[in-house]
Structure 1
Amino acid sequence: MTLRTVYVNGEYVPENEARVSIFDRGFLMADGVYEVTSVLDGKLIDFDGHAVRLQRSLDALDMVNPISTEDLLEVHRELVRVNEVEEGMIYLQITRGAPGDRDFVFPDPETTEPTIVLFTQNKPGLADSPAARKGIKVISIEDIRWGRRDIKTVQLLYPSMGKMMAKKAGADDAWMIEDGYVTEGTSNNAYIVKGSKIITRALSNDILHGITRASVLRFAREAQMEVEERNFTIDEAKEADEAFITSASTFVMPVVEIDGVALGDGVPGRVAQRLREIYLEESLKKAI
């Protein structure tokens, strides 16, 4: 098995030599943020958007960014090169580091050295996904996460549990419900289509401000598709003509079933399929 080269605190090392302190606050308290950037044809998709959101997340947690955007881009490109990634993802995580012994109170951010880690994941067939051709099934679960879901933190235990709930139910993923309304998927933004109108929850602290979401909605409007940003219920979703999710790793993924109820004809809808085509085509044009 070929070992990947990963990036840890300024150094490129084989994955089996990567080390992080046991006192790192990311390990002890999930005190960290992350980003995932897709790679297609060996190029980075939406890198600038991910870099901007990374800084936003760090600012929200009063953490210092240990790397410039220019250097971060170079690290991404070098990892793609040395690991020969044509299709896949680059995972980036920055934590508050290991400023001392375990303590709920963290020191002055200016005196704390963050931990930064990046690694690649090869995913051949990412663009031509079999799941996108047949669509996915989702279930609904209660949303019991903390209130700042707009910060892309490494607090991913409940989303992981949600995916396991879906798996046990014979589905592919879960949509989370709060006060009767869909917030988002476990690792993606959620949409329904009624008639020709695309409906998705508006941005707030309640959901992640998806980078793919922003691009897809921009492309939809440019294609003269109607977009309405508002809350929708799970019952409304079950009565929709079609549905889909967006994320950096799934792009635009059609949803064909919600809680056992088939949407439309039970196959990927026209709007979702068209948006996936547009997103991949336009994103590849701007990939770096």
Structure 2
Amino acid sequence: MGPGNDTQISEFLLMGFSETPELQPLIFGLFLSMYLITVFGNLLIFLAIISDVLLHTPMYFFLSNLSFADICFTSTTIPKMLVNIQMQSKDISFAGCLSQIFFFILFGCLDSFLLTVMAYDRFVAICHPLHYMVIMNPRLCACLILGSWIMSVLGSLLETLTALRLSFCTSMEIANFFCDLPEVLKLACCETLINNIDCLVYFASVMLGGGPLAGILYSYCKIVSSIRAISTARGKYKAFSTCASHLSVVSLFYCTSLGVYFSSAATHNSHSSAAASVMYTVVTPMLNPFIYSLRNKDIKRALRRFF
């Protein structure tokens, strides 16, 4: 349909994973279980840090914010999918789709910025241990969190407002279980406008994703240099162990995100793309509490005291 014959639609259809009725209860149970594990796991980490005065340090302050962001990130997409399965519906309103895009990008960016802030915290702790409490003072920590929120909101607004300028054809099917902005852009009619918006979205994605990643890589280059200068093996192990959990979460977050990007670019199978999206929208937030708690004695102690 040409640009002159486009229509203003009021809703989209989220195609999800499978249209087979027999698989819907299995999909519902699987995602409900993962969602509950994600929410309760991150909520326990959040409450344990708040309730234990010994964990009121910059590192755990940033971790509590990351747990909160992970809860919100997962809650942006999974509840709507569960409701649609339960109601045997695929509908999502245009306003609901835009809201989902906004909050999905917001909390995804917030995750990325918080991981960068945590990398800086580890850099200061390992490279400047004697000045750690002076540098990472409460005012700086609050400014870093506030800056992460501001950058995430502005980036999300920039990308979401592009969808308001679009006109859509008769196709309303989004090849995913949530309103993913690239999938929504594929449904628009005006090819010239789409090319311009694609460039804008690509540039914003590179800045919001690549910028924090560059900061993380720079911090770890400095950390590795400092660890190599430590004379004893015990000292090297102790220094590395303080950032092992964060490095694991960073690797999981960015590897799954890049994996989804490359897999979606290489295949046109909608079910494969939706399944790949599960890795960074559900699996990564679900695993973060386990990564930070299994080998962290402070978190284990705080959880025991909390219960």
Report the TM range for the smaller structure's normalisation: under 0.3
Larger-gyration structure (1/2): 2
In proportion to residue count, which structure has more strand? 1
In proportion to residue count, which structure has more helix? 2
- TM-score norm. by structure 2 comes to 0.25
